């Protein structure tokens, strides 16, 4: 069996005496869309920088597309594409100038570059002039050109760090179509996002908190393992203030009771029989059983609210 695209064992990254990544281990299969989720500062970008050969680990072992730091960081860099969290194209340069600049940094041959540029511009359905300054592109198109730039040297694994932050929902959908196409063509996609609808589209997700991976599974299995019991939606019959919610009797029956838009999602504590409380709660809420959402999983695990 071919080696996994990404192998990480006991990876630790320290900055001085601060541990940003704390002994994480995981593997990503070839052609997988692997999601990396976590609150701000959880260590996602730091992990990606190691996996792109940009930052030496303090401890631990990494292999990306069959290469590691033993072969020098250059070896990793040729195997990976990286779309960083900060927009990295030059606004003052045209699309063509940006791409050819990256091609020269990557020392790509001119025939290869021209062929690859054509392929990628088709891939992102780029329909403007190559002479357009990047500054004049709409946000979604800028992100797509950034993706093309990250793919220019035809890497096996691409790291996309919040690629859709700040773009419109329609552009996010288009971008995810490209991600799925990439994975279908055999590329491995490692992506971070704060959007749960995007996380749903990943094959597997790692949830990170304070430098550690606290859960890793498919979206469906994460929901099952984080919420093994029944989950209900509570829809207030009349709008409730925070104080009124806090004063609701029987909240101790729940391991989870969190606002979800104007409603609440609630999970019953294991082994609790809440039939005795239900009539009273039904005076205030319409209650129905639901499937937990990934957002529920995120709130319960990453934001770590315990009841």
Q: Which is nearer to Mg ion, 188 or 192 (CB)?
A: 192
Residue 87 near residue 162 (C-beta atoms within 8 A) = no
Q: Is 46 in the site for ligand ATP (CB under 6 A)?
A: yes
Q: Which is nearer to ligand ATP, 14 or 30 (CB)?
A: 14
Binding segment (CB under 6 A) for ligand ATP, from list 36-44, 143-151, 173-181, 266-274? 36-44
- How many residues at the interface with ligand ATP, by CB under 6 A? 12
- Pick from Mg ion, ligand ATP, none: which does 41 bind, CB < 5 to 8 A by kind? ligand ATP
Q: Which is nearer to Mg ion, 23 or 194 (CB)?
A: 194
Q: Which one of residues 43, 53, 163, 219 is an interface residue with ligand ATP (CB under 6 A)?
A: 43
Q: Is 253 in the site for ligand ATP (CB under 6 A)?
A: no
Q: Is 57 in the site for ligand ATP (CB under 6 A)?
A: no
Site string for ligand ATP, 62-91 (x = CB under 6 A): -----------------------x------
Q: Is 15 in the site for ligand ATP (CB under 6 A)?
A: yes
Considering only CA atoms, give the Rg of the chain.
23
Q: Which is nearer to ligand ATP, 152 or 162 (CB)?
A: 162
Q: Is 40 in the site for ligand ATP (CB under 6 A)?
A: yes
- Pick from Mg ion, ligand ATP, none: which does 293 bind, CB < 5 to 8 A by kind? none
- Pick from Mg ion, ligand ATP, none: which does 81 bind, CB < 5 to 8 A by kind? none
Residue 33 near residue 198 (C-beta atoms within 8 A) = no
Q: Which is nearer to Mg ion, 51 or 124 (CB)?
A: 51
Q: Is 301 in the site for ligand ATP (CB under 6 A)?
A: no
At residue 291, the 3 state secondary structure works out as: coil
> For the residues of 202-232, what is the DSSP string, one character each?
SSEEEEEETTEEEEEE-HHHHHHHH--S-EE
Q: Phi and psi for 158 in degrees, rounded to 5?
A: -120, 135
CB of 44 to ligand ATP, least distance (A): 3
CB of 100 to ligand ATP, least distance (A): 30
At residue 134, the 3 state secondary structure works out as: helix
CB of 141 to ligand ATP, least distance (A): 23
Q: Which tokens in the block code for residue 4?
A: 């996994």
Half-sphere exposure at residue 224, Cβ-oriented, CA atoms within 13 angstroms: 5
Residue identified by tokens 């359905």 is 125
What residues line the site for Mg ion (CB under 5 A)?
Answer: 44-45, 85
> For the residues of 40-62, what is the DSSP string, one character each?
TTSSHHHHHHHHTTSS--SEEEE
159 vs 52: CA distance, rounded Å:
8
HEC string of 257-277 equals EEEECCEEEEEECCCCCCCCC
The H-assigned helical ranges of 124-228 are: 139-151, 169-184, 196-199, 219-226
Q: Which is nearer to Mg ion, 188 or 193 (CB)?
A: 193
- Pick from ligand ATP, Mg ion, none: which does 242 bind, CB < 5 to 8 A by kind? none
Residue 92 near residue 168 (C-beta atoms within 8 A) = no
Tell me 162's DSSP state: S
10 Å CB burial of residue 44 (0-12, 13-18, 19+) is buried
Binding segment (CB under 6 A) for ligand ATP, from list 42-50, 130-138, 254-262, 264-272? 42-50
| Residues binding ligand ATP (CB under 6 A) | 15, 18, 20, 38, 40-46, 85
């Amino acid at each position: 069996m071919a080696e996994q695209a990404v192998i990480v064992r006991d990876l630790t990254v320290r900055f001085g005496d601060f541990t940003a990544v704390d002994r994480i281990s995981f593997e990503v299969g070839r052609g997988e869309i692997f999601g990396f989720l976590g609150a701000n500062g959880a260590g996602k970008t730091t992990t990606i920088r190691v996996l792109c050969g940009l930052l030496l680990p303090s401890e631990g072992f990494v292999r990306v597309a069959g290469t590691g730091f033993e072969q020098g960081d250059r070896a990793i860099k040729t195997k990976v594409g990286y779309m960083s969290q900060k927009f990295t194209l030059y606004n003052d340069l045209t699309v063509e100038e940006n791409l050819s600049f990256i091609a020269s940094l990557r020392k790509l041959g001119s025939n290869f570059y021209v062929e690859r540029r054509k392929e990628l511009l088709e891939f992102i359905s780029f329909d403007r002039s190559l002479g357009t300054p990047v500054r004049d592109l709409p946000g979604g198109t800028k992100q797509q050109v950034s993706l093309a730039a990250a793919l220019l040297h035809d890497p096996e694994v691409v790291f996309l760090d919040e690629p859709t932050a700040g773009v419109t929902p329609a552009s996010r959908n288009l971008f995810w179509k490209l991600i799925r196409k990439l994975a279908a063509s055999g590329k491995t996609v490692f992506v971070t996002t704060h959007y749960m609808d995007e996380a749903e589209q990943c094959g597997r997700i790692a949830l990170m908190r304070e430098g550690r991976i606290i859960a890793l599974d498919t979206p469906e299995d994460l929901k099952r393992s984080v919420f093994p019991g029944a989950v209900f939606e509570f829809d207030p019959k009349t709008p409730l203030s925070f104080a009124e919610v806090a004063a609701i009797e029987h909240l101790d029956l729940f391991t989870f009771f969190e606002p979800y838009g104007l409603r609440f999602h609630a999970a019953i504590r294991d082994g609790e029989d809440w039939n005795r409380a239900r009539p009273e709660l039904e005076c205030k809420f319409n209650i129905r059983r639901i499937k937990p959402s990934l957002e529920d999983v995120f709130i319960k695990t990453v934001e770590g609210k315990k009841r």
